[in-house]
Amino acid sequence: MYISKSFIPILKNNPSEAKIKSHQLMLRAGMIKQSSAGVYSWLPLGFKVMKKIEKIVRDEQNKIGVQEILMPTIQSSEIWKESGRYEDYGEEMLRIKDRQNREMLYGPTNEELVTDIFRSSIKSYKSLPQLLYHIQWKFRDEIRPRFGIMRCREFYMKDAYSFDISDEEAFFSYNKFFLSYLKTFKRLDLTAIPMAADTGPIGGNLSHEFIILAETGESKIFTDKRIFNLNTDDTKLEKNSLASMRNKYEQYYSVTDEKFDRKEFEEKVSVENRLITKGIEVGHIFYFGDKYSKSMNASVDLPGGKKDFVKMGSYGIGVSRLVGAIIEAKYDEKTEVMKWPISIAPYDIAIIPMINKNDITALEKSNKIFKELEKNDIEAIIDDTEENYSSKIKKMNLIGVPYQIIIGKKTDNDLLEFKEVGRESQKLKLIDIIKLISEQKVRN
């Protein structure tokens, strides 16, 4: 792929409306374009990153046995009236009418719709548990959309739902998602802290937000620093192992401002371990028992002929929001350098030939290298423009391709100038570059 043929409309300066670094970078690097207030078109570069994040999210959901479905963006108001949330949800819900004057809505979430799907199909406890997810666009009519995709009206989200026969089984499902989220964010090179959180309009009495630290975050958090030392490497998908894992996290005080209790914080956390800062919510999980199943009559047959309402939970990850969150965590405003984790980078490596109108040698070398990288499943982009060396490097640093090969007139056929963003360049053979990048991709 040549950059001259790519649709990457880079801007020289930060747009005046962009106040945080993720919004600035996504506009400058040509990742998104605003369509209307809080609504964006995703251009090729941004779309590639988002789809790679989606792939990791999907992979980790599949690993814990969640089944993928796809629900529509437009929902009937009737099921929301059944649950009692149609009037309660507030003005964030976009309400519309079709040509038959039927009340419809653009889904802000899917608890009602998935409950309706479940109750029409599952009748016996023998079919439980059921874990379902989809990845779909949502719409919430924010009163003041801002910060680009971080606080927008239309967003791309993974939401999952669990159906169980009892609280004990439901907690088992809840803990599966707890682990899945920790592993998902780790693969995205993020340290996400699970924090006790308010359940909000979803309902229920058990909820965790997964927060990454960021100065531009809207969530104020209070936590024990020791929580950062925990890992999930030895956790198995078994009840006791998962319960133990969650207990390890919950032994440390870690809450958002809605749950904050100063007295409890000071009693449980020593001064040297206290951390009060801001963060960005990248995931949220809820357990709400029979809140929806009871109001919508989603019950199953039990042994002995009795019926009972299923116990439910819901589990969200903002896939599109993660693009911005990762930028907030990785982008250096001072140097204008962005380094995407290799697992989601739009390209694995950039080939930067120093060329002009009268010199095609460097471009020919670049093409040969490109073909060799392609054979080894390494995605590369060639900067075939006639810009100077400094401009090309700045451009690739802005786009965030994690590795670079610089090709000049004096480039040795065996040794190439290879650079990892943020580090000094070195001379390596192409075979060693391929090995290094391939190993990084496998790890992630």
Q: Where are the alpha helices (DSSP H) in 257-310?
A: 262-268, 291-295
Q: Does residue 205 carry a pLDDT above 90?
A: no
pLDDT at 358: 59
Ranges in the chain annotated CATH 3.40.50.800: 347-443
Q: How far apart are CA 175 and CA 400, in angstroms?
A: 35
Q: Does residue 227 carry a pLDDT above 90?
A: yes
For residue 66, CA distances in Å to 264, 284, 438 come to 37, 17, 29
Q: Does residue 120 carry a pLDDT above 70?
A: yes
pLDDT at 380: 97
Do residues 273 and 207 make contact, with C-beta atoms less than 8 angstroms apart? no
Q: Per-residue pLDDT tens for 135-147?
A: 999 999 998 898 9
Residue 200 is classified by DSSP as: G
pLDDT band of 259, cuts 50, 70, 90: confident
Q: Does residue 359 carry a pLDDT above 80?
A: no
Do residues 301 and 125 make contact, with C-beta atoms less than 8 angstroms apart? yes
Q: Determine the average pLDDT of the residues in 237-245.
A: 96
Q: Of 141, 184, 121, whose CA–CA distance to 316 is shortest? A: 184
pLDDT band of 17, cuts 50, 70, 90: confident
Least trusted range by pLDDT, from 293-307, 310-324, 387-401, 406-420? 406-420
* Bridge partners (DSSP) listed for residue 404: 350, 419
* Bridge partners (DSSP) listed for residue 276: 222
Least trusted range by pLDDT, from 39-43, 105-109, 186-190, 256-260? 256-260
How much is the CA Rg of the chain, to the nearest whole Å? 24
Q: Does domain 347-443 have CATH number 3.40.80.10?
A: no
pLDDT at 173: 97
Q: Determine the average pLDDT of the residues in 68-95.
A: 94
pLDDT at 412: 67
pLDDT band of 204, cuts 50, 70, 90: low
Which residue type occupies 226?
R
pLDDT at 363: 86
Ranges in the chain annotated CATH 3.30.930.10: 21-330
Residue 272 is classified by DSSP as: G
Q: Determine the average pLDDT of the residues in 163-188.
A: 97
For residue 420, CA distances in Å to 35, 348, 428 come to 35, 11, 12
* Residue predicted with more confidence, 27 or 202: 27
Tell me, which fold does domain 21-330 have in CATH? BirA Bifunctional Protein; domain 2 (3.30.930)
